Structure 1
Amino acid sequence: MLQNYLTVAVRNLRVNATYTLLNILGLALGMSGATLIFLFLAHHLSTDRHQPDASRLYRVVLDLHLDEGIVREPGSAYPLSAALGKDYAGVEKTGFLRRMPMVSFSTNTAAGPRRFMEKENVAYADYGYMQLFALNWHSGNAAATMQEPFTVVVSQKLARKYFGTEDVTGQILRLDNAHDLKITGVIRDQQYPSDFFFDAYISLPTIKTIEPTNWQTDFGWISSRNFTFARLAPDTQPQHIEKLIAKNGKKYYADNAPYYRHHLQPLADIHFNENYDGKIRRSILWILAGVGFFLVLVASINFINMATAQAVKRSKEIGVRKALGSSRQQLFWQFNIETLLITLLAAFGSILFTIPLFTPLNNWTHTQAFQAGNLLQMEVLVFALVTILLIVLLAGFYPAVILSGFNPVAALKSKLISRQVGGIGLRRSLVVVQLVIAQIMITGTLVMMLQLDFFRNADLGFDQKGVIRITLPRQTGETVNRQAFRNALLQYPEVKSVTYQYDAPTSDMGFGGSVRFDNRIEWEKFVIKVRFGDADYLKTYQMPLLAGRSFSDRDSVREFVVNEEFMKKLGIRDAQQMIGRSMEDGTSGYKGRIVGVVKSFHLRSLHDATEPCAIYAQPEQYREVAIRLDLSSLTNSISHIRKAWQTHYPGEVFNWEFIEEKIASFYAREEQLTNLIRLFAWVAIVICCLGLYGMISFMVTEKTKEIGIRKVLGASVDSILALFGKELLILTGIAFLLSFPVAWTLMSMWLNHFAYRIDLHWWLIAAGSLLIVPIIILTIGLKVMQAARMNPVNSLASD
């Protein structure tokens, strides 16, 4: 029986090759989109789930309860790690990690000395951290050496990059051209998604030796780069430890204890909680999951539409089968097997579609979620099986019920019409559902693109265009060399200005704290952020002054420039009234005078509101040089700068980037989502077009004689085109009315996550929906024009 089902199914698929191909292509595209989304979701949802005792592992985060609101901080003070292990019996193990934004390594091998600059993939870690987090060792298990200064553990990738081999235990890496580190172990390259995998782990005692600053002893020195982790005992609740920390707050923070509220953030929450710098919101993943389901639904609707449209065409076949004794159950399984065969062919086709997209998608999403090997993972295979069964259920069940239920007498007499098989009303409804989904996705793509464009072109309060930054080597006694390098740069006419800085005005720099204004006894009820730069900082970034002048960078006097938001927090309206007033910065302990007020600027991304800020000189914190260039000859400019760099910093890595590039990276999450939604919106449109083309093809075939008669009676090509196009345009209008409130609600919710956003107007939603109209007209127009231009003699002579 099964062999007979398969034989008949293959024969029917070959006879109706056009519709078979359209169904396979539509289902393959839908399955491809769903598979890609599943890989993306699996990557994010599995982040750090492989860590041992993950359910008992927490990161200690901080909420600063200030009078103006709550400031959430993912980092913590270094001494807190030791205090947790010492003061609380429920804390089984603690670990500390300090993420470094940029370091340089140098090697001296047989090939000669080499220098490397590493960004965001190097961290300092203690012995406890290495015990808490799983590291797959390639050679040795050198975790214990993290208790010793000047040791480092590297990944296989870094070992190959530096030495050309993975067997590098015992080799020496020179850190920042100043300190020798001994490689005590090699870990395997990253195999599982993790937010805390680094290519180099330097022992924490190393930084305690080379940077003996108060961040190591001060509980109030909070940094977004310092992370404290704790593994709790099996019977310990995190809320219990949080209460104990609050109870001991005075011991850690003295009179400031009421401001500090620590929380234990579960490891599973770190990747998704945007309040503490999470990488992606869970809601975004559920949106993408919904998109994947709708892609499969749209493809299944295509199948249902074309299967029911062809029902009349197959009525005699079904009548003969029933007359020869086939039961309804047998016919039901016959048609479901046809659906299964099409779905299996589509599943194979989806693999051909997905693999070429892996590389661009990895680049778009800044992940390694899309790998050919991932397609063979058990969860992906289970997902594929479930998807196939879902499609068979969605796309095959209804047509099988309809087709197997034909009256054999009516079928043999060819008295069945589309209305009798649920054709017209059902197909109209399903086309509307398809168009609603496509229009929502198109509108979402348009709004996201406009918001992303708004981010890129918004006025940040300074001019970042044409400014590059170069990472400075970490060396002592740099003051003289810095001035010489500045003078060398300013000799080139294309160099307009040079400033030394910690970071750009808009950055992820988290320095800030309390402030005391105008010799007041009490500290202000708000905190300020700080930016470090030399006297040319304002000039280089063209930050407009509302009053006063730029600060000086002389050691003999301390001067501050504050922003407009700082003035507003104090309740002062006239910027001139700020000039000459005294100020004490709690971050650095500096006391001095305010000499200038600049227009408020965005310290962080446009996700956040503007904050009060002070800018002043702190040479020991400078890690970059920023250069404003005339961009008319960028190649020559970089060549000149490189030459000056090699003269003053011989052997150091010359690493530069535009400030705009760094600022653009703040919106990586939005760019990821926009790119993904745009891709899948096009997939949905193509699937819809395939379905519409198949429907129009069938309608044209059914109305061939009608078209011939109309042409004989004088109908024009335009009128015949309108005959087919009018109904689809009406259905598009209905879909627009249904999609409008859904798209408006979804886009309003998404935009509400941003402090600065575009305005959502009705015409914006309408424009997104109307973009599909020309696509529909083009899709149906080609087939209808072909039929309308057919010789009426041939049309009337057709069967």
Structure 2
Amino acid sequence: MLQNYLKIALRNLRINRTYTILNVAGLSMGMTGAILIFLFLQNHLSTDRHQPGFDRLYRLVLNLHLDEGIEYSSDTSVPLAGALAMDYSQIEKVGFIKKIPVATLLSIYQNETRRFTEKENVVFADQGFMEIFKFNVLEGNLNGIMKEPYAAVISEKVARKYFGLTNVVGKILRLDNATDLRIAGVLKESQNPTDLKFDVYISLPTIKKIEPAYDLDNFGWLSSRNQIFIRLVPGADFKSVEKLIKTNGTKYYAETARYYEHKLQPLSEVHFDERYGGKIRRPILIILVVVGLFLLFIACINFINLATAQAIKRAKEIGVRKVLGSTRRQLFWQFMSETALLTLFSAFVTLLLVALLLPVLNNWTQTQDFYFGMVFQLQFLFCWSLTILSVIPIAGFYPAVIISGFNPITALKGKLGTKQIGGLGLRRSLIVAQLLIAQILVIGTLVLILQLKYFKNADLGFDQNAVLTVQLPNKNSKQKINGSLRNSLLQFADIKSVAYQYEAPTSSMGFGGQVKFDKSADWEKFVIRERYGDENYISTYKMKLIAGRSFTDRDSLKEFVVNEELMFKLGITDPQKVLGKMLNTGMGDLKGRIVGVVKSFHLKSLQVAVEPCVIFAKPAQYKEIAIKLNTKDFGKTIRNIQAVWQKDYPDDVFSYQFVDEQIAKFYEKEEQLTTLIRSFALIAILICCLGLYGMVSFMVTQRTKEIGVRKVLGAGVESIVLLFGKEFLILVLVAFLIAAPVGCYFASHWLTNFAYRIDLKWWIPASGCLIILVITLLTIGFKVIKASLMNPVKSLRME
């Protein structure tokens, strides 16, 4: 019996090629979108879950309690790791890493020197870190190697990059042209998603050898570059450990302990908690789950509409089968077998599309986490199979019930009405549902695009355009601040200004603390941020001085420039009243005089509000030079800069980046979300187009004779097009009346995550409606015009 079902199903699908192609296209697009979303979710939800003892792993984070609220960070200090390991029996192992933002590494192999600048992938690590987490060792041995100075463990990728092979244990990498590191191990590349992947691990004791003055015992020296990871003993309660750490706060922080509250963040939350630097928020994943379900739902709606439209053409076939003895049950399973075949074929097309689109997904997410082998993993195959088993009954049940219930006499006479094939009302409702989902996705896409555009075009309070930053070597301050380099660069007519700095005004730089103002003996109740640059810093970025002047770089009395926000926090509205006043910064206990006030500027992304800030010279912290350009030939200018730079630093790697590119990185998450939603909205629209085509096909088939009569009575093509267009216009407007408030509600809720955001104006949902309306009219237009041009004699002969 099953063989007979499949044989007939294959024959019907082959005969009705258009119907088959449309259904396969709709189902495969919906399933492809849903599977890609699944892969994206799987990647995020499985981050670091491969680590042994995952449920006992935690990261130490900090809630800094200030008078104006709580600041959340993952800042820790070096000695705290050792203290935790000694003080608490509930802690089985403690691991510490210290990130190096930029490092220059050099190798000499077979008389060939290879030198590269490494960013964000080099860390100092202790032995505990190497023991807490799982590393697949390709060469060497990790036992005890991080306890001795000058040892390094590198990834397979770095080994090939610097030496061209992986058997490099015992060879030397030179750090910043000053420190030789002995390679003690090489790690295999892992395909497991992780937030803890680095390419070079340097033993922690090496810090003291590189910088003898580095204080490894200062608990108050907190840094966002430091991270502490903890593995508890089996059965230990992390909440009780948190309480003990808080109780012992005075041991670590003395009289300032009341400000510090350390929390144990489960490793399962590290990836998702943006307060402490997480990569993505869980609500975004929920949004994508809903989008994936929407895609499958509208694909099933599309199938139902096409199937019921096709039912009229198969009416006589069903009538003949019933007359010859086929039961309703047999016909039901016959149609379900056709649905199963279509779904299975669509599923295999989906596999091909997913495999082809994995590089695109990597491009969307700016990662290399998605690879062809994922389609053979059990989790993927389970999701793929579950999708197939879900689509078959959802898409096939209703059409199977309707078609198998045809009255054979009515079917053979060709007099099936809308009631016999399910009624227009239901199909119109399904079309409205499709249009509703499409409009919500389009509204969401428009809001994402507009907010992202607002981020990129907003006035940050300084001029970041055509400002190039060049990374300075990791040398002492006297070597880095080379006056001849500045003078040589300024000889070029297309270079307007050069400034030494730590980072640009808008950056991830988090230095700061409390201040004392004027003659006050008490620290102010708010926290300020600091920006470090030389006396050309303000002019290079064209920051707007509203009072006073820029600071000068002098060894005697320190000079400060503050922003308006700091002035307002002090309760002063007239900038002249802060000039000449003394300021004492808690960070480094620096004292100096305020000599200028600049208009407030954004220190971080527009997701957070403007903060009070002080700008001053701190040569020991400079790690970049900022170069203001005025040229159309950027390539030539950069080559000139490199030539001058290489003369002063012949043994270092020239590395540059434009400031606006650095700022754009703040919005990578929003960029990714916009790309994903925009792509899936396009898929939804394409599926809707297929559904609309099915609906108009059904309507044209039902009203062929009516069209003929109208033409005989003098109706023109435009009136017939208007007849059908009016109905679809109503469907689009009905969907809009629901989609507009729903879409705006969720869009406004999402926008509350940003301190600075667009206004959700009426034209945004209206534009979404207009887009869908135009697409709808274009979709149905071809079929309706073709029907209206048909010879009315042929239409009436069908009676």
TM range (shorter): over 0.9
Cα shift at 1:479: 4.6
Task: Name which of structure 1's ranges 37-46 and 480-489 shifts more when overlaid on structure 2.
Answer: 480-489
Equivalent residue for 1:170? 170
CA displacement at 1:385 relative to structure 2: 0.5
Q: Is the CA contact (8 Å cut-off) linking 1:481 and 1:648 kept in structure 2?
A: no
Separation (CA, whole Å) in 2 of partners of 1:324 and 1:101:
79
Aligned to 2:144, the other structure's residue is in SS state helix
What does residue range 372-771 of structure 1 map to in structure 2 within 5 Å?
Answer: 372-476=372-476, 478-479=478-479, 482-771=482-771
Unaligned runs of 5+ in 2: none
Q: Which deviates further from its counterpart, 72-81 or 23-32?
A: 72-81
- Give the aligned partner of residue 29 of structure 2: 29
* Cα offsets for 1:591-610 (capped at 9, x unmatched): 11111111111111111111
**Structure-2 separation of matches of 1:211 and 1:683:** 56
CA displacement at 1:510 relative to structure 2: 1.2
Alpha-carbon distance between aligned partners in 1 of 2:4 and 2:711, rounded to the nearest angstrom: 45
Determine the C-alpha separation between the residues in 2 that align with 1:794 and 1:300. Answer: 34
The aligned residue for residue 139 of structure 1 is 139
What is the CA-CA distance between 1:262 and the residue it aligns to?
0.8
Instruction: Report the 3-state secondary structure (helix = DSSP H, G, I; strand = E; otherwise coil) of the residue aligned with 2:304.
Output: helix
Distance (whole Å) between structure 1 residues aligned to residue 475 and residue 798 of structure 2: 88
Give the match for residue 108 of structure 1.
Answer: 108
Structure 1: where are the runs of 5+ without partners?
none
Q: Matches of residues 338-353 of structure 1 in structure 2 within 5 Å?
A: 338-353=338-353
Whichever residue aligns with residue 365 of structure 1, its letter is T
Q: 1:380 to 1:325 in 2, by over 3 A?
A: same
2:149 maps to a residue whose letter is P
Q: Aligned equivalents of 1:701 and 1:760: distance in 2?
A: 43
Q: Does 1:42 align with 2:14?
A: no
Q: Distance in 1 between matches of 2:693 and 2:152?
A: 62
Show the counterpart of 2:219: 219
CA distances 1:545-582 after superposition (whole Å, capped 9, x unpaired) = 12111111111221111111111111111111111111
Question: Is 1:312–1:418's contact at 8 Å kept on the other side of the alignment?
Answer: no
CA distances 1:291-322 after superposition (whole Å, capped 9, x unpaired): 11110111100111111222233233223333
Deviations 1:175-204 (A, max 9, x none): 011111111100011321100110111111
CA contact (8 A) 2:427 2:695 kept: no
Q: Which amino acid aligns with 1:24?
A: V
DSSP-derived class of the 2:660 partner: helix
RMSD over equivalenced CA pairs, Å: 1.5
Q: Deviations over 1:312-359 (max 9, x none)?
A: 332332233333333322222111111010011111212332333222
Residues 230-309 of structure 1 mapped to structure 2, 5 A cutoff: 230-309=230-309
Q: After superposing the two structures, state which structure 1 stretch, 28-37 or 780-789, moved more.
A: 780-789
Distance in structure 2 (CA, Å) of the matches to 1:781 and 1:669: 39
CA contact (8 A) 2:63 2:261 kept: yes
Partner Cα distance (1:518, 1:133) in 2:
50
Deviation at residue 140 of structure 1 after TM alignment: 2.0
Q: Structure 1's 54 and 642: CA in aligned 2 closer, same or farther, altered over 3 A?
A: same
Write the deviation string for residues 585-643 of structure 1: whole angstroms up to 9, x where unpaired. Answer: 11122111111111111111111111111111111111111100003221221121011
Q: How far 1:215 moved relative to its partner?
A: 5.2
Alpha-carbon spacing, 1:212–1:561, altered in 2? closer, same or farther (3 Å): farther
SS of 2:604 mapped into structure 1: coil
What is the CA–CA distance in structure 2 between the aligned matches of 1:10 and 1:231, rounded to whole Å?
Answer: 58
In percent, how many aligned pairs have the same letter?
Answer: 57
Could you say what secondary structure the match of 1:169 adopts? coil
Write the distance in 2 (CA, Å) between the matches of 1:637 and 1:605. Answer: 29
Q: How far 1:213 sits from its partner (Å)?
A: 4.7
Deviation at 1:111, TM superposition (A): 4.7
Deviation at 1:523, TM superposition (A): 1.0
For residues 154-188 of structure 1, give each alpha carbon's deviation from its aligned partner in whole angstroms, at most 9, with x where no partner exists. 11111111111111111100001111111110001
CA contact (8 A) 1:93 1:231 kept: yes
Higher mean displacement: 330-339 or 23-32: 330-339
Query: Are the structure 2 counterparts of residues 80 and 623 from structure 1 closer, same or farther at C-alpha, using a change threshold of 3 Å?
Result: same
Separation (CA, whole Å) in 2 of partners of 1:53 and 1:374: 24
Deviation of the 1:289 alpha carbon: 1.0
Q: Which residue does the alignment assign to 1:8?
A: 8
> Does the 8 Å contact 1:462/1:542 carry over to 2?
yes
Q: Distance in 1 between matches of 2:568 and 2:492?
A: 41
The amino acid across from 1:605 in the alignment is S
Kindly indicate whether the alpha-carbon contact (under 8 Å) linking 2:402 and 2:420 is maintained by their aligned counterparts in 1: no
- SS of aligned partner of 1:631: coil
Cα distance in 1 between the residues matched to 2:660 and 2:748: 28
Deviations 1:356-408 (A, max 9, x none): 32223212212223321111111110001010111112101111122222233
Deviation per CA, 1:238-284: give whole Å up to 9, x if none.
11011111111111111111111110000000000011111000110
**Bigger mean CA offset, 303-312 vs 44-53:** 303-312
Aligned residues: 799
Aligned AA for 1:700? V
SS of structure 2 residue aligned to 1:49: coil
**Structure 1 position 776, deviation (Å):** 0.8
1:361 alignment partner AA: L
The one-character-per-residue Cα deviations of 1:61-107 (angstroms, maximum 9, x if unpaired) are 00111111111012212211111111111111101011222111011
| Deviation per residue, 1:386-444 (Å, 9 max, x gap) | 10111112101111122222233433343421222213011100000000000000010
Letter in 2 for 1:205: P
Matched, 1:336 2:336: yes
Query: For 1:771-794, what per-residue CA distance to the aligned partner results, in whole angstroms no more than 9, with x for missing partners?
Result: 111111111112222222233334
Is the 8 Å Cα contact of residues 207 and 214 (structure 2) preserved in structure 1? Answer: no
Q: Which runs of 4+ in 1 moved over 6 A?
A: none
* Residue 213 to residue 424, structure 1, CA distance change in 2 (3 Å): farther
Q: Which residue of 1 aligns with 2:63?
A: 63
Taking the aligned partners of 1:442 and 1:480, their CA distance within structure 2 comes to 51
User: Does the Cα contact within 8 Å between 2:208 and 2:214 map onto a contact in 1?
Assistant: no
Conservation of the 8 A alpha-carbon contact between 1:40 and 1:369: no
2:476 touches 2:620 (CA, 8 Å); kept in 1? no
Residue type at the aligned position of 1:18: T
